[in-house]
C-alpha cells in the first residue's frame, strides 16, 4: 500500500496502475469526504476539518484505497466557491491526513488548490471539468506526476441539467473522454496516470445515466481505468422512490452493475457496504473465469 507524500509516490505504482488490469484485479473504492456546507447528501456533516479527517480514516479502515476530499459541491445548480473559501475547507483536512495508509485525492477544478493539496501529499487530482476549468491544471498535474481523473460534464453545474440533450449519450461521452485523454497526454500527463469517468448525474437524465452504466464497457474500451460515481444520486431516487438518505441498496446495486461492465474504481459515501458487495461480485466473476 502506498504511504506518505506524493514525492514518495513517484516511481511507485500509481492508483491508476492498480485498477482493473491485469485480469483478476479487485475493484478499488474511493471514499467521499465532502468538506462543504451544501453537498447534496452530506452537506455540513464534514465541514469541521477534524470530522472530515475522521471520516477519511474511517473510509480507509472500511477498505477504501483512496479518499476524495472536496470543498465545493457540484450538485445541480451549485455555484463556484471562492478560492480562499475552498482552500480553508480542504487544506486543514489534508494537513491532518499526512501519512494516511491510502491515496488522498483532491476533488477540485482549481489549480492552486490542487497544487497546495499535492504539497500536502495528495496523490490524485479529481477534476470534474476534465482540465477545462483552469488552464494551469494540466501542467501542475503533469509536473507532480499524480493520478488524474478526467470526468465528463457538458456544462457547469449551475446550468447542466437544463441542457441534458444527446443523440447517443454513450458515444458522445466516449468521444469527449477520448479527446480529453489526448489533451492530457499532450500536456505531459503520463497516460498510465489517467482515469476516465462518464460523470453520472452531471447534466444527464435518468435514461442517460442508466445507458451510461449499461454500456460502460464502451467507455472502458478506451483502455484506461474507469471511475464511476453513483453514490446516493438522484437517478437512484427516481428509480426507487427513495430519499437521499435511503439510497444505499440502490447505490450498491449500481456499483456492482458498473463493476461488471468494466468500472475499476467506485466512488461512494458508504465504503463498507460497497466493499462487501464488490468483493462478492469480484469473487463470482473470477470463479466464472470472466474479468469484468
Ligand atoms: N460526483 C460528485 C462529485 N465529484 N467526481 C467524479 N470523478 N465522479 C463523480 O461522479 C462525482 C465527482 C457528486 O457527489 P458528491 O461529492 O457527494 O456531492 P457534491 O458535489 O454535492 O459535493
Predicted confidence (pLDDT) per residue in 37-71, tens digit: 999 998 999 999 999 999 999 999 999 999 999 99
Q: Per-residue pLDDT averaged across 141-164, rounded?
A: 84
Per-residue pLDDT tens for 230-275?
A: 999 999 999 999 999 999 999 999 999 999 999 999 999 999 999 9
Instruction: Please state the φ and ψ torsions of residue 136, each to the nearest 5 degrees.
Output: -90, -5
Q: How far is the CA of 43 from the centre of ligand 1 (A)?
A: 12
Please tell me which residue, 194 or 15, carries the higher pLDDT value. Answer: 194
- The pLDDT confidence band at residue 280, using thresholds 50, 70 and 90, is very high
CB of 149 sitting under 6 A from ligand 1 = yes
pLDDT at position 78 is: 87
Please tell me which residue, 138 or 14, carries the higher pLDDT value. Answer: 138
Mean pLDDT of the chain: 90
Instruction: Please state the φ and ψ torsions of residue 184, each to the nearest 5 degrees.
Output: -60, -40
Per-residue pLDDT tens for 90-114?
A: 999 999 998 899 999 999 999 999 9
CB of 226 sitting under 6 A from ligand 1 = no
pLDDT at position 11 is: 29
Per-residue pLDDT tens for 171-204?
A: 999 999 999 999 999 999 999 999 999 999 999 9
Options 204, 247, 267, 275, the catalytic residue: 267
What is the residue whose three cell numbers read 484485479? 25
3-state secondary structure the chain: CCCCCHHHHCCCCCHHHHCCCCCCCCCEEEEEEECCCCCCCCCCCCCCHHHHHHHHHHHHHCCCCEEEEECCCCCCCCCCCCHHHHHHHHHHHHHHCCCCCCEEEEECCCHHHHHHHHHCCCCEEEECCCCCCCCCHHHHHHHHCCEEEEECCCCCCCCCCCCCCCCCHHHHHHHHHHHHHHHHHHCCCCHHHEEEECCCCCCCCHHHHHHHHHCHHHHHCCCCCEEECCCCCHHHHHHHCCCHHHCHHHHHHHHHHHHHCCEEEEEECCHHHHHHHHHHHHHHHHHCCCCC
What is the residue whose three cell numbers read 458498473? 258
Q: How far is the CA of 263 from the centre of ligand 1 (A)?
A: 16
Q: How far is the CA of 54 from the centre of ligand 1 (A)?
A: 19
pLDDT at position 122 is: 96
pTM: 0.92
Q: How far is the CA of 289 from the centre of ligand 1 (A)?
A: 33
* Spatial separation of the C-alpha atoms in residues 155 and 158, rounded to whole Å: 8
pLDDT at position 6 is: 36
Q: Which atom of ligand 1 is nearest to the CA of 197?
A: 7
Options 233, 247, 261, 275, the catalytic residue: 233
Cβ neighbours for 186, distance < 8 A, ≥ 6 positions apart: none
- The pLDDT confidence band at residue 14, using thresholds 50, 70 and 90, is low
pLDDT at position 24 is: 47
Mark whether 162 is an active-site residue: no
- The pLDDT confidence band at residue 285, using thresholds 50, 70 and 90, is confident
Q: What percent of the chain has pLDDT over 90?
A: 80
pLDDT at position 5 is: 37
pLDDT at position 291 is: 60
Q: How far is the CA of 106 from the centre of ligand 1 (A)?
A: 12
- The pLDDT confidence band at residue 15, using thresholds 50, 70 and 90, is low
pLDDT at position 13 is: 45
Q: Which atom of ligand 1 is nearest to the CA of 126?
A: 7
Cβ neighbours for 220, distance < 8 A, ≥ 6 positions apart: 20, 226, 261, 262, 263
User: β-strand 103-107 against 66-70: which pairing, if any?
Assistant: parallel
Mark whether 233 is an active-site residue: yes
Q: Which atom of ligand 1 is nearest to the CA of 78?
A: 21
- The pLDDT confidence band at residue 18, using thresholds 50, 70 and 90, is low
pLDDT at position 165 is: 85
Q: What percent of the chain has pLDDT over 70?
A: 87
pLDDT at position 160 is: 60
CB of 19 sitting under 6 A from ligand 1 = no
Amino acid at each position: 500500500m502506498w504511504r506518505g507524500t506524493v514525492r514518495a509516490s513517484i516511481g511507485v505504482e500509481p492508483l491508476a496502475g492498480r485498477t482493473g488490469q491485469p485480469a483478476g484485479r479487485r475493484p478499488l473504492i474511493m471514499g467521499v469526504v465532502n468538506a462543504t456546507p451544501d453537498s447534496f447528501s452530506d452537506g455540513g456533516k464534514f465541514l469541521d476539518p477534524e470530522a472530515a479527517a475522521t471520516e477519511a480514516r474511517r473510509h480507509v479502515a472500511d477498505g477504501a484505497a483512496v479518499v476524495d476530499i472536496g470543498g465545493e459541491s457540484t450538485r445541480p445548480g451549485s455555484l463556484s466557491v471562492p478560492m480562499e473559501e475552498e482552500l480553508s475547507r480542504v487544506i486543514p483536512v489534508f494537513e491532518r491526513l499526512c501519512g494516511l495508509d491510502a491515496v488522498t485525492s483532491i476533488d477540485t477544478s482549481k489549480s492552486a488548490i490542487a497544487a497546495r493539496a499535492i504539497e500536502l501529499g495528495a496523490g490524485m487530482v479529481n477534476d470534474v471539468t476534465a482540465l477545462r476549468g483552469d488552464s494551469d491544471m494540466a501542467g501542475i498535474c503533469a509536473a507532480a506526476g499524480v493520478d488524474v481523473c478526467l470526468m465528463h460534464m457538458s456544462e457547469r453545474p449551475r446550468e447542466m441539467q437544463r441542457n441534458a440533450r444527446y443523440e447517443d449519450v454513450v458515444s458522445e461521452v466516449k468521444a469527449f473522454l477520448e479527446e480529453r485523454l489526448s489533451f492530457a497526454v499532450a500536456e505531459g500527463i503520463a497516460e498510465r496516470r489517467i482515469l476516465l469517468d462518464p460523470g453520472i448525474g452531471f447534466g444527464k437524465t435518468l435514461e442517460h445515466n442508466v445507458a451510461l452504466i449499461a454500456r460502460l464497457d464502451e467507455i472502458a474500451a478506451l483502455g484506461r481505468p474507469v471511475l464511476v460515481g453513483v453514490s446516493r444520486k438522484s437517478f437512484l431516487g427516481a428509480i426507487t422512490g427513495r430519499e437521499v438518505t435511503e439510497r444505499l441498496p440502490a447505490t450498491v446495486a449500481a456499483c456492482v452493475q458498473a463493476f461488471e461492465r468494466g468500472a475499476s474504481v467506485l466512488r461512494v459515501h458508504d465504503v463498507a457496504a460497497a466493499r462487501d458487495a464488490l468483493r462478492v461480485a469480484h469473487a463470482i466473476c473470477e470463479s466464472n473465469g470472466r474479468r469484468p
